[in-house]
Structure 1
C-alpha cells in the first residue's frame, strides 16, 4: 500500500516519534523510507551584523543537517529498513513547501511527520510546518504526536 514513505526529520522528540512510526510502517509494508532535513539558509542572512559570517553559519547548518541524516539513516539500516536521505534548503522559512516539493518529486505515497499539537496562541506564535504540509499536498500525511514532557 505505502511503498515510498517520506519522513521530515529534525532533532526533536516529535521527529523521533515520527521516525519510530515510519520504521514500523516500512517494515510492515516492505517500503523504502526517504528521510529529509530542511535548513533555512535565510536564517542568518538578514543580519547586517558585521560580526556574523553568514556563509560560515550556512555551511554549519548544512553540516549539522547532514550529520543528523547520517545518524537517522544508520538507525533505519540497523532495523533493516531500506532508506535514502536528502538535505533540503529553504530560503525564508518556507520549510513546508520544501517538504511538499520533495515528496511530490520523489513520488511519496505517504508523508510521516511529527507534530507538537499546539493550539491557540502557542500555535499562532510558533506556526506549524506540519500544518503547512497538510495545506499544500494531496499526498496522505500521517501526523505523529510525541508524548508531552511534564
Structure 2
C-alpha cells in the first residue's frame, strides 16, 4: 500500500475519518490525499422564476460568485484538515460531480491503493431509497475500502 485516499464530507464527524485514515496510512507507510467532492454546485446558484404565487427571481441563471465562494470554502476546508494532520506531505484534491463517481475517478487517476470513507448512521429506509456514498463506492471499486463508523 503506497497511496491512501481519504474521502471527507463537510461534517464535524469527518475529523474522526481523517484521523483514522491518516493513522492507517502512516502504519502502512503510505502517502495520503484528502478528497472532498462538491456535488452539483450549480443548484446553489439557480435563480427561480415566480412560482406558486411567490415573486422570486426573474431569470434562470447560475450565480458564478456563489459557485466560486463554495469552491473557496471547500478548498479552505481541505487545507485546514491537512494542516490539522500536521504533515506537509498530505495532499488535497477538490472534485466536482456525483460523489461516488468523483471519488472513484480520482482514486483511479491518482492510483490509490485504498480508499478511506466514513459511514454515517442513516436509517435503513433512507439507505434503501437513496443508497449511500460508501455503498455505491463498494459496488464499483476495484481497490480496498476502509470504512470508519461515525455515528450521528
Quickly name the TM-score band, shorter chain normalised: 0.7 to 0.9
The answer on whether the counterparts of 1:18 and 1:112 sit within 8 Å (CA) in structure 2 is yes
4+ runs deviating over 4 angstroms: none
> Which has the higher mean CA deviation after the structures are superposed, 45-54 or 104-113?
45-54
TM-score, normalised to structure 1's length? 0.82
Displacement of 1:126: 5.2
Alignment pair present for 1:4 and 2:8:
no
Distance 1:15 1:130 in 2: 14
1:96-135 matches, within 5 Å, as 96-124=100-128, 127-135=131-139
Distance 2:70 2:20 in 1: 26
Alignment length, in residue pairs?
Answer: 142
Please tell me the root mean square deviation across aligned C-alpha atoms, in Å.
2.2
Match of 2:64 among 55, 66, 85: 55
Displacement of 1:29: 1.5
Q: Which runs of 5+ in 2 are unaligned?
A: 50-56
1:1-150 matches, within 5 Å, as 2-40=1-39, 41-44=41-44, 47-49=47-49, 50=57, 54-76=63-85, 78=86, 80=87, 82-90=89-97, 94-124=98-128, 127-148=131-152
TM-score, normalised to structure 2's length? 0.81
